[in-house]
Amino acid sequence: MSVLLLVLLLGLSTFHLGLLVWSICKHLLTTDVPSALKHPLKFRIMHCMFIYAVTLGIILEKLSICPMPSFACFLQDIFFLKKKDPKVVVTDLRFGTISVRLFEPKAMSCSSRAGIVFYHGGAGMVGSLDSYHNVCLSLALETNSVLLSVGYRKLPYYHYPIVTTDCLNATIHFLKRLKSYGVDPSRVVVCGDSIGGGVAIQIIQTLLSHKDLPRIRAQVLIYPITQLTNFQLPSSQQNRNIPFLTEELLMMCVCRYMAIDISWKDAILKGAFLPPETWEKCRNWLSSDNIPERFKNKYQEPQFPGPFNEAAYFETKHILDVQNAPILADDEIIAQLPEAFLVSCEHDILRDDTLLYKKCLEDQGVPVRWYHVEDGFHGCLFLFGQKFLLFPCSEKILNAVVSYIKAL
């Protein structure tokens, strides 16, 4: 028995060592680390561990032991430390089937506070109330606001459009009860990063038709996903191999959340699923012509979209829904949106989504403030409050968001 146990332990050790070596080799052979990035060695070590965790999750999934997204969420909630602050009351609640977390400053206030509704990132696959706890705690405390963080349902059991549906329902529930939370109805901000930023845009557009609810004061969007149509923009080419959102991972997340077979990823990347007439309608918003020249360093204009593939269109056409591309909403809708604070990161494959949305808003006369982080990368806000994992860009983004909300 002891011999069998020894052999098992030796086998597991060898397996994990081999997986670690493979992760390091993959990182070194396929990853670009920007020269402007602070703490490049820490960045490399973190990405090696990220590859290791994702690969192990995929192996466990193939062995029918545990879905990869569930494994990834399990690891993040173990390793991410939640701060406590006696100046903020934190309450876990449920709005029907939706888990939410409420952050309320304890200090007495002579008037109603501002309200923030926060939708976390994670591609509908990872991210949670716990992993974004420190971000939300600091936002509530530093802006003296009541903050609602929405723990929407996600992969592997829930697909498109559940993230938007859950966030919308939780937001409506909150807006109907603002007075009970001591929130000024004229000072409610919606905020989100990555997929959460895209969801925030969708929700604001939807709420325009809810005349019985308070009007949203501002939209705060941190490297948001604003479209899933053009993946050949300058940032898509320049940053396709930069952690933590590489082109490979982005396509896996898109296909999983949209319930599309991964075999169609090349058609999505090349735009082969786009009917020519559809591209003609949306190119004014999604063309690389809308990206400022200073962001086109080494950009090679591709033939986009690629030759039309009708089979790909029928398998992936829900990508073209306005719900998945809020930037394509009618001009009349865009013109009614509240002022925006947009954050983009230079080393982000989705950087140009923010730039396209910025131009879209400005063209319709919507006030926009834009904050660009030269040493930033996709997902860096996620690391805020994690002492050994923190990067300067994480603090820059949070401080900029706090300053903007306090000035409203």
Residue 200 is part of a domain; what is its CATH number?
A: 3.40.50.1820
Min mean pLDDT across 14-18, 56-60, 62-66, 79-83 is at 79-83
Residue 94: count other Cβ atoms within 10 Å of its Cβ.
Answer: 10
Q: What pLDDT, on a 0 to 100 scale, did the predictor assign at position 109? A: 79
Q: Verify that 100 and 53 share a domain, yes or no.
A: no
Domain that holds residue 23: 14-31+38-66
Q: Verify that 95 and 25 share a domain, yes or no.
A: no
Q: Verify that 212 and 163 share a domain, yes or no.
A: yes
Query: Where does the pLDDT of residue 108 fall: very low under 50, low under 70, confident under 90, or very high at 90 and above?
Result: confident
Q: Verify that 172 and 55 share a domain, yes or no.
A: no
| Assigned domain for 292 exists | no
| Assigned domain for 337 exists | yes
Percent of the residues in the chain that have a pLDDT greater than 70, as a whole number: 100
| Assigned domain for 207 exists | yes
How confident is the model over 148-157, as pLDDT tens digits? 999 999 999 9
| Assigned domain for 282 exists | no
Which helix (H) or strand (E) segment holds residue 373: the answer is strand 368-377
Q: Verify that 61 and 92 share a domain, yes or no.
A: no
pTM summary value: 0.96
Q: Verify that 59 and 113 share a domain, yes or no.
A: no
Q: Verify that 53 and 113 share a domain, yes or no.
A: no
Q: For 381, which DSSP code?
A: G
CA angle 326/327/331 to nearest 5° reads 105
| Assigned domain for 204 exists | yes
Q: Verify that 53 and 188 share a domain, yes or no.
A: no
Active-site amino acid positions? 194, 348, 378
Q: Verify that 212 and 144 share a domain, yes or no.
A: yes
| Assigned domain for 296 exists | no
Q: Verify that 110 and 57 share a domain, yes or no.
A: no
| Beta strands, E only, 80-236 | 88-95, 98-105, 113-119, 145-151, 183-193, 218-222
How confident is the model over 29-40, as pLDDT tens digits? 999 999 888 899
Paired tokens of 101: 């977390």
| Assigned domain for 276 exists | no
Domain count for the chain: 2
Has residue 76 got a pLDDT over 90?
Answer: no
Which residues, in sequence order, are CB contacts of 44 under 8 Å at separation 6+?
27, 31, 33
Q: Verify that 53 and 128 share a domain, yes or no.
A: no
What would the mean pLDDT of 176-199 be, rounded to a whole number?
96
Q: Verify that 103 and 200 share a domain, yes or no.
A: yes
| Assigned domain for 331 exists | yes
What would the mean pLDDT of 309-338 be, rounded to a whole number?
94
